[in-house]
Amino acid sequence: MWRPVKTGRFAPLESLAVKIFEIVALSASGHSLSRSSLPAVDLRAAELIDDLDSIVRSGADRLLLSDCRGPTDLQKCDVLLSVTEARAGRPDGTISIVASAADSAAGLLKLQGLGAKSRRLAGLTWNRTGFCADLGCAPDSAVAEQARIQVVIAARAAGVEAYDSVAGEPSQEQVQQIAGFGFSGYAIGIGDK
């Protein structure tokens, strides 16, 4: 149920009933610059409206749109955020979106053109596990690496940040590889709720 936001009083992200991802920003040489937590939403979830309401009330300034299957999903999330922000008394566009856009073959094929579909788009990432499950390929396969490269290219073409997908805290060698591929950082799923 929707409740108005009380200025200056936001629930901590950890108290939300949504999955929280951690984004680690990297320098070009692979040094960690910052860490931030992002709540995630799934447009196909039954509790989508409640999740968006909770995220807006939390004071979050970014969210992760999981399993973004193309421009239509990004636009739908943008519109729903605008409505939710308005109901909560927050200015339109307060929350930006990091789209996990290559979680499936369908998402990967629609990466092009995402940047022009929402001014909220701040970054692209992908879900290696979800992508490989959808295709039936191994996480270290050439197909998975091709998807990884396409995420970087699509993000750069859209003028937004690119975040790699990692299952846990990567080694320093993996971090160097992530930076070497042109990623701005990486996303770690840090809790299922």
**Which tokens in the block code for residue 68?**
């973004």
- Burial code of 97-133, b = ≥16 C-beta within 10 A, e = fewer? bbbbbbbbeebbebbeebbebbebbbbbbbbbebbbe
Tens place of pLDDT per residue across the chain (193 aa): 222 223 333 445 555 567 888 899 998 777 888 898 889 999 998 889 999 999 998 889 999 999 999 999 999 999 999 999 999 999 999 999 999 999 999 999 998 888 878 899 999 999 999 999 999 999 999 999 999 999 999 999 999 999 999 988 899 999 999 999 999 999 997 443 3
CATH superfamily of 16-189: Phosphoenolpyruvate-binding domains (3.20.20.60)
Q: How far is CA 49 from CA 18, 54, 96, 114, 148, in A?
A: 12, 9, 17, 23, 30
- The whole-number pLDDT of residue 20 equals 86
pTM for the whole thing?
Answer: 0.87
Cβ(96)–Cβ(121) below 8 Å: yes
Rounded Cα distance between 43 and 100, Å, is 12
Cβ(83)–Cβ(90) below 8 Å: no
Rounded Cα distance between 55 and 109, Å, is 29
- The whole-number pLDDT of residue 2 equals 25
Cβ(65)–Cβ(81) below 8 Å: no
- The whole-number pLDDT of residue 126 equals 94
Q: Residue 131: which of 145, 121, 117 has the closest Cα?
A: 145
Identity of residue 80: L
Cα four-point dihedral sign 46, 48, 49, 55: positive
- The whole-number pLDDT of residue 152 equals 95
